[in-house]
Amino acid sequence: MLVQVAHDALLLALQHVLRAVSANNPIPILSGVRIHTNEDGIIMTASNTSLAIQYRIPLGDSSATVQKAGAIVVPGRYFYEIIRKLSVGPILLEAKERWFLTIESGKSQIRLCGMDPVEFPSFNHSLSPDPVRKLRLANGSFLKAVKQTAFAASTSETRPVITGVSLVFGNELLHLMATDGIRLAALTIPINGQATDISNVIIPANNLKEVAKMFSAEEGLIEIETGLRQIGFAMNNLQIHSALIEGAFPSVKNIIPQRCISQVVMEKSSLLHAVERACVLAGDNIIRLSVTPESVELTSKTAELGETEEEVQLQTLSGDKFIVSLNGKLLMDILRCIDKESIKISYSGSMSPIMILPVEDTSASLFLITPVRTASSFT
């Protein structure tokens, strides 16, 4: 392999794929980045057991030329550190005997010990031979959907299935859902295309966040392909594959309260700021909401430290006044990901989850949070 590539193009490619290179992978080849050439360009690939990322540096303009086709695997972080510190200008990469890569730029000459690319796991473009389902989605909708659901997934490995985000493909709709057992976030967005065999998958929430972060600067349509064991995301020069979590995602139908006692509509940002302040002195993060026709009062307390009292205006209250205690940090997460001005909070009794809905949201998002039962001294 002998290629010439512009410094900024190579650096950009490495910044993308490096997210799949773990610092101390027990499998040596996975600490590497595979470089190979084909008719489309110079392709960089990195992979760990859960996430694989491929970035293509296109040929054609002055940024990249292939003088001799080939492939090599180089140690990812060292290669990136070297490239990052080279000065701007063309870089010559040549694979030599016994998997050495020489890097030439200006008056710098580097010889880097590489590895045989045959040992590198293949990046399965088509996700075949699994049955495959494809759809295209406006990237903006995709990013919003991830932001509004992935945060609610569990971070504890005791129930692996809820560390993921559930995707259920309907005929014209895509349902996303995540939960950690105490709170739940669900969202439905319209899609084009019909259902196939593969009607639902669970993606590790951290991978989904990583995918959203990497595509956050792009505009246009993102292509999503699901197989039985993998899901793929592709747009422009970037392709990402994530492993799926096996298992059945808990059903939500029985959790959503069917009828409510009270509904209160209020400004989201006022409530969020009040919750943020109340959390500073909230022991175990527990804050109390006391809703009357006049206002919503938030209180929190930590013995030996102090207590807070906040009053937030409400827009409307239908039904009875109520008092509920809940985890303020979890409520904060929910409020932060809502991008509407007003929210509606539905109360269905002290044993039922609180339901929070953005007012006037066409994308049909829904958030639930289970109240905490507190000692009578506090309530």
Q: Which of the stretches 75-83, 165-173, 203-211, 363-371 binds its own copies when contact is defined by CB under 8 A? A: 75-83
Q: Which is nearer to its own copies, 94 or 218 (CB)?
A: 94
Q: Which of the stretches 65-73, 78-86, 180-188, 243-251 binds its own copies when contact is defined by CB under 8 A? A: 78-86
| 129 upstream amide cis, omega within 30 of 0 | yes
363 Cβ partners below 8 Å, 6+ apart?
141, 144, 145, 187, 188, 189
Q: Site for its own copies (CB under 8 A): which residue of 39, 60, 85, 158?
A: 85
Least CB distance to its own copies at residue 123 (A): 25
Q: Which is nearer to its own copies, 173 or 305 (CB)?
A: 305
If one asks whether residue 209 binds its own copies (CB under 8 A), the answer comes out as no
Q: Residue 73: which of 96, 101, 48 has the closest Cα? A: 101
If one asks whether residue 8 binds its own copies (CB under 8 A), the answer comes out as no
Least CB distance to its own copies at residue 294 (A): 12
If one asks whether residue 315 binds its own copies (CB under 8 A), the answer comes out as no
In total, the chain counts a number of residues equal to 379
Q: Which of the stretches 62-70, 104-112, 134-142, 176-184 binds its own copies when contact is defined by CB under 8 A? A: 104-112
Locate 313 and state its tokens: 């205006």
CA distance 175 to 188: 4
Q: Which is nearer to its own copies, 28 or 220 (CB)?
A: 28
Q: Which is nearer to its own copies, 107 or 259 (CB)?
A: 107
Q: Which of the stretches 42-50, 56-64, 308-316, 336-344 binds its own copies when contact is defined by CB under 8 A? A: 308-316
95 Cβ partners below 8 Å, 6+ apart?
1, 2, 70, 71, 72, 101, 114
Angle at Cα 374 formed by Cα 371 and Cα 375, nearest 5°?
A: 165
Q: Which is nearer to its own copies, 30 or 152 (CB)?
A: 30
Helices (H), 246-322: 268-280
If one asks whether residue 40 binds its own copies (CB under 8 A), the answer comes out as no
What is the DSSP secondary-structure string of 305-316? TEEEEEEE--SE
Q: Which of the stretches 5-13, 58-66, 100-108, 244-252 binds its own copies when contact is defined by CB under 8 A? A: 100-108
Residues that bind its own copies (rule: CB under 8 A) add up to a total of: 30
CA distance 348 to 163: 27
Least CB distance to its own copies at residue 309 (A): 4
What phi and psi, each to the nearest 5 degrees, are found at residue 316?
-145, 150
If one asks whether residue 108 binds its own copies (CB under 8 A), the answer comes out as yes
Q: Residue 271: which of 375, 211, 354, 188 has the closest Cα? A: 354
Q: Which is nearer to its own copies, 22 or 295 (CB)?
A: 295
If one asks whether residue 115 binds its own copies (CB under 8 A), the answer comes out as no
CA distance 133 to 220: 20
Least CB distance to its own copies at residue 96 (A): 11
Q: Which of the stretches 44-52, 148-156, 300-308, 319-327 binds its own copies when contact is defined by CB under 8 A? A: 300-308
Q: Which is nearer to its own copies, 85 or 253 (CB)?
A: 85
If one asks whether residue 341 binds its own copies (CB under 8 A), the answer comes out as no
If one asks whether residue 329 binds its own copies (CB under 8 A), the answer comes out as no
199 Cβ partners below 8 Å, 6+ apart?
168, 169, 170
**What is the dihedral angle through the alpha carbons of 250, 251, 255, 258, rounded to the nearest 10 degrees?**
170
Cα–Cα distance list, 337 to 48, 143, 217, 272, 280 (Å): 29, 12, 19, 11, 20
Chain residues that interact with its own copies, rule: CB under 8 A:
75, 78, 81-82, 85-87, 100, 107-113, 273-274, 276-277, 280-281, 304-312
